[in-house]
Each structure stands twice: as structure tokens, then as C-alpha cells.
Structure 1
Amino acid sequence: WSSSAGSAPGFRRAAGRRGEEARSPVRYRELPMAYEPPVMCHCSPPRKAPRWISWSRQNPGRRYYSCVDAMVSVVFFA
């Protein structure tokens, strides 16, 4: 491949920064591989609820649990 910036294809630099890589606006508050017991959803049958990160203006960066099948109605914050 050929690139005028000398970087891999698909790599983008953040606008307005000088040579810094784009990073997530949400910093880790805990270690990425830290173990936590599973949180079960309230569906029938109960399943493990995945942990999500809110990108809303009301709760930026807040982590919450929500079942994939019930994302609209069942949300419980961590």
C-alpha cells in the first residue's frame, strides 16, 4: 500500500491534535481484565447481562448492564 502519512490503511489521526492518536473519551476506571461476578438480567430464563458504556449527554461514560433482548426497557447501572 502507499500512504502519504506513512501509516497503516484505515488509521486516522484525531482532528486538531499534533501527531497524537485518537483515543476513547472514556478512561478505564478499573483494570480491563478485572474479574467481577456475572450480573444476571431479569428475562426469562435469566441470562448474563453484558456491560455497556453510555454515550448519552445525560450519562457520558457511565457503565451499565442491559440484556440484548431488552435493551429498550431493562437497564440497570453499575
Structure 2
Amino acid sequence: METGYKISINPSLYFQKKHRRVLEACPLKAILTESDGPYKYRGLYLRPDLIPELVETIALIKNVDVNSLIKVINQNLKDIVK
């Protein structure tokens, strides 16, 4: 991640252990979120409106405040679109 790569986390985090392991190893400065949807995956319709709950889950896993995480994710997005 030192090279500026970003990792996009989507709601499949709830089903995929490997996604959780990636998230646990990923520094905050590399995290982005996305819905991968609309798309049906294992009975769950992945949609953009799932992102707020996903961010709360990421905050719990990373043991950070949700509002702080939102600021970091927004900055990460700005870093790649500048």
C-alpha cells in the first residue's frame, strides 16, 4: 500500500472471510467503498444505499470512529480523482 494503491470494500465483506482479512490488513489511507451494484450476491441485493451500514461495519472492524472513517474515505477518493 505504500505505493498509493487503494482497496475498494463492498458489502460482500459480510460473506467473504478473505475480504475481511484484506480489510484487517489494509491501512485506513487505502480504503474506499463501493456497492458493486445493483447486483444480487448470495441473496443480498448489493446497492449503493448499503454503503452507510458498510462504513459502520468497517469502523467496527478497524476500531475507529465512523465520522473519522468517513473523512478518511472521502480524502482517499479525492486523492485518486485529483
Both structures adopt the same fold (TM-score exceeding 0.5): no
Q: TM-score if structure 1 supplies the norm length?
A: 0.19
Which has the larger strand fraction?
2
Higher relative contact order (CA 8 A, sep 6+): 2
Q: TM-score if structure 2 supplies the norm length?
A: 0.18
Which has the larger helix fraction?
2
